[in-house]
Each structure stands twice: as C-alpha cells, then as structure tokens.
C-alpha cells in the first residue's frame, strides 16, 4: 500500500487531499499543528495523526523520526503546510516566521526523509501565484532589510523559494519533485491580514475563492498519476505546467545558493 505524508492536513487543501488519497487506498500520514483538528481529520479519513509546529525546527526533526519509524518507506511527501504571517515575528529558532514555515521547515523535513523515500517517490509542494510579487534576495531571505507591508511580499518571496527548492531537489536527487499553485482557495488563509479582511467584507465568501476540494485536485493528480506530463521540477499553475514565476527564481545559481544557505540555517551538515 502506497504511503503519503501530507503536511498542513488539519484543514483546507491538506485535509481534502488526505481524504481523496485515503479513499483511493493510500496510507495517509495527516500532519498538522493543531492536535485536536489533526486527530479529527485523521479519524475521519482513516489516516494516522502526527503533530508538529513549524515554528520549532525540533518539531520537524521529531516528525521526520516518527514518520521514518512508522512507515519506513514513503511514496509521496506533500509539503503543504505554511501560510501568510501578517505580523512580523521570529520563530523559536530565531528565523523570520514566514520563511521558516513556508521554506526552511519543509526543506529540513524533505532532507531528513531522503533515506526513506521509495524508488520513484514524489515530493509535491504547494506554491502560489503570489510568488510573482515577491523577490528572492538571498542577502535578505528573512526580510530584515525590506518593509513588511503586511507580510505579503515576504509570503510571495517564500513561495519563490518553494519553487526554486523544488527545481533543485529534482536536480540533486532521484526524486520526482513538482510545485503547484492551487488557485485562490476559500479557507482560513491570511485570516489575520487586513487586506483579506477588507476583501471579505465586500465580497461574499462564495465569490472569494474556490473550494478546498478543487484546490487539492492538482495535488491529488500529481500524487496519483502514473506519469506526469512535464519535466521533473516543473511548477504548475493549477493543472497547467510552467506557471509564471518572478524573474529572481531564474537568476543564475539561485538554486545552489538557496540550498546551501538553507542547509546552514537549519543545521544540515550533509544535505543532498
């Protein structure tokens, strides 16, 4: 039986994808931050709950160890956890929270699980069209030198990092790795953002985004299709390959430099 690990699975896209894969006969690891919601989703879909807070990299290390012990072999890792951090702040590890939640934590988890991926395994990352208004500056990955602006540019930048990491993972390993934009999904994303609250005030929820089920559909297809009809490392906009990316994602050496810098930040002495 195939094994899928889905982070950010206690609600929204992750929970929907967990349900779809479980229905298809997969063993599903439901990873979430909130213990109660994570357990509830796992019970609903027949999966196994794992609790980890991406504000603490030690939680990520413990998560990787628990997954390895429980399964031994993983067929799909969906790096779906993360989101918009409205108020600037640092994690328990001293890093800006947006880049830790959306990039550093999944980077660490993926690297720690490398010995446990099955042949032909896939890593699927939830990115965003919001990457187009970010700017991946490797001298300011944590937005210490730039205005915060409600966290939106930092969020977009973290999603550039997601796309660049995915490409580099495809180059460095035997894994298949893909990133995708799910569309604007009507979930709790950005709930603390003043901009989102303003938009919701004047637009009914039904017009503000697609359902979590529709948002999860590209993830489920990338996880289950026998052959992905696009080069390894591709970023999809929904089901369409080669979505738009900010020019900084294509800067010479961006992948190698981001990988090396991320490895130093999370304390990986011998990353892939």
Structural contact between residues 151 and 88, judged by C-beta atoms closer than 8 angstroms: yes
**Pair of tokens at residue 212:** 């979590």
| Distance in angstroms between the alpha carbons of the first and the last residue of the chain | 27
Catalytic residue, candidates 54, 155, 178, 235: 155
Q: What is the DSSP letter of 188?
A: S
Question: Any residues with CB less than 8 A from the CB of 208 and at least 6 apart, and which?
Answer: 184, 186, 199, 200
What is the CA angle 146-149-152, rounded to 5? 100
**Tokens 């039986």 belong to residue:** 1
Strand order in the sheet with 27-32: 48-51, 27-32, 3-6, 74-79, 117-126, 176-181, 235-237, 240-241
Question: Any residues with CB less than 8 A from the CB of 71 and at least 6 apart, and which?
Answer: 3, 5, 27, 29, 116
Count CA atoms within 13 Å of residue 227 on its CB side. Answer: 1
Give catalytic status of residue 155 as yes or no: yes
| CA distance linking residue 68 with residue 114, whole number of Å | 10
| CA distance linking residue 196 with residue 190, whole number of Å | 6
Point out the residues that are catalytic: 155
């Amino acid at each position: 039986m195939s094994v899928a690990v889905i982070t950010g699975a206690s609600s929204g896209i992750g929970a929907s994808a967990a349900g779809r894969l479980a229905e298809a006969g997969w063993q599903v690891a439901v990873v979430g931050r909130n213990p109660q919601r994570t357990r509830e989703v796992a019970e609903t879909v027949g999966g196994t709950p794992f609790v980890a807070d991406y504000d603490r990299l030690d939680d990520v290390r413990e998560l990787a160890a628990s997954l390895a012990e429980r399964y031994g072999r993983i067929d799909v890792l969906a790096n779906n956890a993360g989101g918009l951090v409205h108020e600037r702040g640092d994690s328990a590890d001293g890093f800006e929270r947006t880049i830790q939640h959306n990039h550093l934590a999944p980077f660490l988890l993926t690297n720690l699980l490398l010995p446990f991926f099955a042949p032909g395994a896939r890593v699927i990352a939830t990115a965003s069209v919001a990457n187009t208004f970010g700017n991946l500056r490797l001298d300011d990955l944590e937005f210490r030198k730039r205005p915060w602006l409600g966290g939106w540019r930092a969020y977009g930048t973290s999603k550039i990092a997601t796309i660049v990491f995915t490409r580099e993972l495809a180059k460095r390993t035997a894994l298949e790795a893909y990133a995708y934009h799910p569309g604007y999904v009507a979930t709790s994303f950005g709930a603390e953002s003043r901009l989102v609250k303003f938009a919701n005030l004047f637009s009914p929820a039904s017009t503000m985004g697609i359902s979590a089920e529709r948002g999860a559909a590209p993830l489920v297809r990338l996880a289950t299709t026998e052959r992905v009809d696009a080069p390894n490392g591709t970023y999809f906009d929904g089901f369409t390959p080669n979505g738009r990316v900010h020019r900084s994602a294509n800067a010479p050496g961006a992948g190698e430099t981001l990988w090396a810098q991320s490895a130093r930040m999370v304390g990986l002495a011998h990353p892939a």
